[in-house]
Amino acid sequence: MKEFIISVKAKDCIDLPDKLNLILKEVEKNNKVLIIKNFLTNSQINCILEETKKVLSKMRPGKKDYSKLCSNFYHMEKNTKDDDQKRINNNEPLRPRNQRVFKLLPWHDYNNKFINLIKKISVFRNQIGKRNKNYGLDINQGYFNFVQVIQYQPDLGYISKHNDKHFYDRYKISSPFEMLVMLSTRGKEYHKGGLFVEINSKKIDLEKLIKKGDIVVYNVKNNHGVEKIAEKNSTTNYGPRKNSKLLNGRISLLVTPYLISKTLNKKSIDPSKFKSWIH
């Protein structure tokens, strides 16, 4: 398995673009997975979890309309019949899943610590994707940062094997690398399941190599997924809790640059409304 992984400490690559570029070349050329160890501290992780808990405690689940610059929200993401049909029509593979997704939107107000963290993650992501440093931070470049915290609840959460090359093509995302920030650890917050990737038809359990604060970078063209998450003692006594207000199980963070023209309407693109990590 080691032959598919490159693991680097954050402090050994974060401000060393030449070194990082060399590592990325190796990742791309030999189709490897990159793990950046200790990118976030515990206090930074807690800052993101606190912001997420606010959405969970204050809001009811339900999707909102981004183009109206809506408030932060969360919703359950599952594959519906419509979703399956759309994928069949587009010649894309189905993507069965059950995940709770929290959307932390850039027109919302946040404290400085949170804003600086998203900037830090975003700048690093841009470096990984060989993009302009301010992609997602400067909306004049056509993209905004879409911050999503993804929870796989115990005995409920999973995403079956899939790849995201269609999504990346559709949204014209320039880099094939997805960057996932881990906010929980198998063996602590949950005990079974987690991220896997398939390389050369070999299924690799990535979860045993990562812990909270680490970053995983993988090529979205490779099949990947999350095996169903479970706690140590299976919850057969009370079953999975769909409407739980607990931010438990497996938590990770995605900060993806989204194309403004495909996500928001023209009226809502007013830079003064983007209060947070835009500069």
Residue 244: burial class (beta carbons within 10 Å; 0-12, 13-18, 19+): middle
> Both tokens of residue 175?
């880099």
Nearer of residues 32 and 95 to Fe ion, judged by Cβ = 95
**Nearest-approach distance from CB 218 to Fe ion, in angstroms:** 9
Here's the x/- map for Fe ion, 160-199, by CB under 5 A: it reads as ----x-----------------------------------
**Residue 214 in the binding site for Fe ion (CB under 5 A):** no
CA dist 230 and 58 (Å) reads 26
CA dist 207 and 226 (Å) reads 9
Size of the site for Fe ion (CB under 5 A): 1
Nearer of residues 47 and 229 to Fe ion, judged by Cβ = 229
Residue 245: burial class (beta carbons within 10 Å; 0-12, 13-18, 19+): exposed
**Nearest-approach distance from CB 223 to Fe ion, in angstroms:** 9
CB 139 within 8 A of CB 271: yes
Nearer of residues 119 and 228 to Fe ion, judged by Cβ = 228
Here's the x/- map for Fe ion, 109-148, by CB under 5 A: it reads as ----------------------------------------
Close Cβ partners of 117 (under 8 Å, ≥ 6 residues apart): 40, 44, 47, 48
CA dist 64 and 128 (Å) reads 31
**Nearest-approach distance from CB 31 to Fe ion, in angstroms:** 16
Which residue is at the shortest CB distance from Fe ion?
164
Residue type for position 61: P
Nearer of residues 108 and 161 to Fe ion, judged by Cβ = 161
Residue ranges that bind Fe ion, judged by CB under 5 A: 164
